[in-house]
Structure 1
Amino acid sequence: MRGGIVTVELAREHKVRPTYYAAALDLKGKLCAVIGGGIVAERKLKGLLEGGADRVRLVSPAVTPGIAALADGGNIILEQRAYQESDLANVWLVFACTDDAMLNAAIALAANRRRIWCNVTDDAASGSFISPSVVRRGDLLLAVTASGASPSLSALIRTELERQYGPQYKERVERLRQLREYVYKTQKNERVRREVLRLAAEGTLMDDGAAGTLGLDEWYAVLLEITIGRQME
């Protein structure tokens, strides 16, 4: 086993550091998998569920109480046994997060052969994607990563974002969505639409009271008046 660990470490040293492309994934209706049953696996499982995953297969001989509780929700296929490569059948995305580096590497190789998105929690470069630190406020999704260089830095920045963009942003972003739909139905001029929505977003960031207290038609009227006034200057 020691020789295997050395082989894994040497492979890590010779890997080219990847450059990542940021994307947001729609997981609805796609089978995802988590291989592992510890605290890290629990965190990844929660992230998948919060991200809209409605079908998750979790495989591990033992699981945390938190995972067991989440499995009662109905969206999780819990298999309390050792991993088999067949567990990747029909899987679209997988997290390899066991406490065995060799097993995680084997999962990554199998996922790569099957063209399955794979995240390896103890060796990011051997997978095909990394998962950022996330702040979620309804439809507002703020993600930050140091590309594996410093997960601690990512976590600290996430904490700053949590303070800056508090729970109230869930309702604020929903209001912006409603306003956008209203404006697109009401205003045909693209330039005016763009300026009205920009002003609304600015007001939301500056905690403008109008963004939360006025009806959509009143809010739109105020923003439209400002927009027209600026265009006439």
Structure 2
Amino acid sequence: MNSNYPIMLRLEGKLVVVVGGGKVAERKISGLLASGARVVVVSPETTDELQRLSSAGKIEWVQRPFLQGDLKGAFMIFAATNNKVLNKLVKDSAEPHQLVTVADDPDGSNFHLPSSFHRGRLSIAVATGGASPSLARKIRKQLEQEFDETYEDYLEFLFMKRKWIITEIADAALKSKLLTAIVSDEFLHSHDREGDFQRLYEGMI
């Protein structure tokens, strides 16, 4: 039985410590930076890309072996080395309230990263509860084809129109009808969403 609880986290400004400086750490850090997290990497060595990010001031690189005090104040922790003993030490050094994922010990982690992609405001994630990361990636690729770049502008339209409807429309029934109507293939594929919305609104009132 899958006991995982899916959630979307706001990491902007939060401290995330990544122990390890290899390709696994590099992949994790790419997504973390996109979220606005404050990333600290602890590792004697790192990939060229992580060195570049450090030189550009986008991450902080602590160039030495891991110490238990490195996790102080961290909201989220990645144990991403190729050393199982070190990864376990990182996990054991974390406080109970800290989120920790261990690269080679999914069962010992208290969170996992799903296979995911973004289309502007739209985020789609796929997880298999550890059964098959390969299947998760396969499904994600299928969804990437279905939910293409068209959704980026469409989500912006939905975001702005939802704000306007909620703020400007007092009638609850009309509000519900408008919110339902704009989530349609007609608006998704429209070349004039603003015009179509205005016509829809005028027709309903």
TM-score (normalised: structure 1): 0.81
Aligned mates of 1:18, 1:101 — CA distance in 2:
25
Q: Does the CA contact (< 8 Å) of 1:36 and 1:58 recur in 2?
A: yes
- CA shift, 1:199, in A, is 1.6
| CA distance 1:57–1:226, change in 2 (3 Å) | same
1:29 paired residue number: 13
1:150 paired residue number: 132
Q: Does the CA contact (< 8 Å) of 1:140 and 1:170 recur in 2?
A: yes
- CA shift, 1:121, in A, is 1.6
Aligned mates of 1:142, 1:108 — CA distance in 2:
28
| CA distance 1:103–1:165, change in 2 (3 Å) | same
Alignment of 1:1-233 (within 5 A): 19-53=3-37, 55-111=38-94, 113-203=95-185, 207-209=188-190, 212-215=191-194, 218-224=195-201
Q: Which structure 1 residue ranges, 4+ long, deviate > 4 Å from structure 2?
A: 225-228
Range with greater deviation from structure 2 (101-110 or 37-46): 101-110
Aligned mates of 1:103, 1:223 — CA distance in 2:
61
Query: What is the alpha-carbon root mean square deviation over aligned residues?
Result: 2.0
Range with greater deviation from structure 2 (168-177 or 92-101): 168-177
Aligned mates of 1:221, 1:186 — CA distance in 2:
14
Larger radius of gyration: 1
Q: Does the CA contact (< 8 Å) of 2:102 and 2:109 recur in 1?
A: yes
Aligned mates of 1:36, 1:223 — CA distance in 2:
54
Q: Does the CA contact (< 8 Å) of 2:154 and 2:188 recur in 1?
A: no
User: What residue identity is the alignment partner of 1:223?
Assistant: L
| CA distance 1:196–1:87, change in 2 (3 Å) | same
- CA shift, 1:24, in A, is 0.5
Aligned mates of 2:10, 2:96 — CA distance in 1:
20
Aligned mates of 2:34, 2:167 — CA distance in 1:
31
- CA shift, 1:114, in A, is 4.7
Aligned mates of 2:20, 2:200 — CA distance in 1:
52
Q: Flag the structure with higher helix content.
A: 1
Aligned mates of 1:226, 1:104 — CA distance in 2:
62
Q: Does the CA contact (< 8 Å) of 1:31 and 1:92 recur in 2?
A: yes
Residues 65-86 of structure 1 show CA distances to partners (whole Å, capped at 9, x for unaligned) of 1222222442311112111111
Point out where structure 2 has 5 or more consecutive residues left out of the alignment: none
Percent sequence identity over aligned pairs: 33
Point out where structure 1 has 5 or more consecutive residues left out of the alignment: 1-16, 229-233
- CA shift, 1:32, in A, is 0.6
TM-score (normalised: structure 2): 0.91
